Chain A
């Protein structure tokens, strides 16, 4: 684990890097690393969009694999999406990106010279071989606004989504939940345990305006069995939903 990883999103804006804790060598760690004490014990969020440089040993799929499946883990910066993908993936998470050029709003772009906005979204993914034929790809995707322009292109046909939240920053998840509901994508909410104040389930549901039928679970994204449990919860939710639909 990269203990030097420091997620700036975790620091409070008013926190000033202090050197008082540094022995008077003057050559201590970079100031940005000194705020690590403010979230001791927090799950290693890891760099969500850090490009994986260097070659890695590829683990090929079985020749019989013929059905790729998708689950998306959505959440704000530093909430632990990459950590969750890594904890259950059979490969080291890879990083890639998609770019989309949109014509400027209200501009007739038939000439091809109108105002265009390039939207680039980077995302991580990992892989789980389920059986001889089915392979599950787990995507860690940023929840920010520009990402949703690419949702249909990237994630249509996804089984469902996990909204990963940090209970200290619940508001970061509002937009993602709203968009998933808009797209009709089934989802559950998983609270990554950062050791913050304990909230009751009811408090979290109210803060997120989460309907009763949407499962809410706690997890530790660093822990493989915990992340596995989150995925199983999502699948059971999908099954329950399928059952409800066939009854109506």
Chain B
């Protein structure tokens, strides 16, 4: 497995990783805690970052964990994930609390109760 790159990535390398794109589309659905799940194994010839993601996400893995593992900024990882989602190689389990991004409506009371129960059981 390739080691994560150094933290002080040169902009040139980040540019290369994403094929020159600096941001995912505005409607990018990936939250920091969207759970990513691999749907198909890596194939030869794939970009190494894509291969690493597919290996990491055999079990559900949050976007932010993928970023930490790859040693890449979250925004770059979102672009890589969008590629894999578009080709059906991953699926995404989006958080149910951020249905209305930009608004600050309180979360569902049932969900709050589930979180409390989980915390008390720690």
Residues B31 and A95 in contact, CB atoms below 8 Å apart: no
Residues A159 and B119 in contact, CB atoms below 8 Å apart: no
Residues B109 and A239 in contact, CB atoms below 8 Å apart: yes
Residues B96 and A128 in contact, CB atoms below 8 Å apart: no
Asked whether any CB of chain A lies closer than 8 Å to the CB of B19, the reply is: no
Q: How far is the CB of A236 from chain B (nearest CB, A)?
A: 7
| Interface 0/1 of B17-37, CB less than 8 Å to A | 000001000000001111100
Residues A60 and B112 in contact, CB atoms below 8 Å apart: no
Residues B22 and A101 in contact, CB atoms below 8 Å apart: yes
Asked whether any CB of chain A lies closer than 8 Å to the CB of B85, the reply is: no
Asked whether any CB of chain A lies closer than 8 Å to the CB of B88, the reply is: no
Residues A98 and B60 in contact, CB atoms below 8 Å apart: no
Q: How far is the CA of A129 from the CA of B62 in the complex (A)?
A: 12
Q: How far is the CA of A128 from the CA of B62 in the complex (A)?
A: 12
With A61-B59, A184-B104: A98-B120 Cβ-Cβ less than 8 Å? no
Which candidate, A20-28, A39-47, A134-142, A203-211, is the interface stretch facing chain B?
A: A134-142
With A68-B34, A97-B73: A60-B118 Cβ-Cβ less than 8 Å? no
Q: How far is the CA of A136 from the CA of B122 in the complex (A)?
A: 12
Residues B119 and A128 in contact, CB atoms below 8 Å apart: yes
Set of chain A residues within 8 Å of B35, measured between Cβ atoms: 61, 65-68, 135
Q: How far is the CB of B41 from chain A (nearest CB, A)?
A: 16
Asked whether any CB of chain A lies closer than 8 Å to the CB of B65, the reply is: yes
From residue 39 to 62 of chain A, which have CB atoms closer than 8 A to chain B? 51-52, 55, 58, 60-62
Partner of A235, one of B7, B95, B96, B112: B112
Set of chain A residues within 8 Å of B98, measured between Cβ atoms: 156-157
From residue 203 to 232 of chain A, which have CB atoms closer than 8 A to chain B? 224, 228, 231-232
Q: How many residues on the A side are at the interface (Cβ–Cβ under 8 A)?
A: 56
With A137-B32, A152-B102: A228-B75 Cβ-Cβ less than 8 Å? no
Residue of A nearest to B70 (CB): A96
| Interface 0/1 of A102-136, CB less than 8 Å to B | 00000000000000000010000101111100111
Residues A235 and B64 in contact, CB atoms below 8 Å apart: no
| Interface 0/1 of B104-122, CB less than 8 Å to A | 1011010111111111101
Q: How many residues on the B side are at the interface (Cβ–Cβ under 8 A)?
A: 44
With A69-B33, A99-B75, A152-B102: A134-B68 Cβ-Cβ less than 8 Å? no
From residue 35 to 62 of chain B, which have CB atoms closer than 8 A to chain A? 35, 56, 58-62
| Interface 0/1 of B63-74, CB less than 8 Å to A | 011011100011
Q: How far is the CB of B59 from chain A (nearest CB, A)?
A: 4
Q: How far is the CB of A162 from chain B (nearest CB, A)?
A: 13
Q: How far is the CA of A15 from the CA of B30 in the complex (A)?
A: 47
Residue of B nearest to A90 (CB): B122
Partner of B64, one of A60, A130, A137: A137
Known A97-B73, A242-B107, A245-B106; further 12 A-B contacts with Cβ < 8 A: A52-B68, A68-B31, A68-B32, A69-B97, A127-B62, A128-B118, A131-B118, A135-B60, A154-B32, A157-B101, A159-B115, A238-B112
Residues of A within 8 A of B (CB): 51-52, 55, 58, 60-63, 65-70, 88, 94-101, 120, 125, 127-131, 134-137, 139, 152, 154-157, 159, 183-186, 224, 228, 231-232, 235-236, 238-239, 241-242, 245
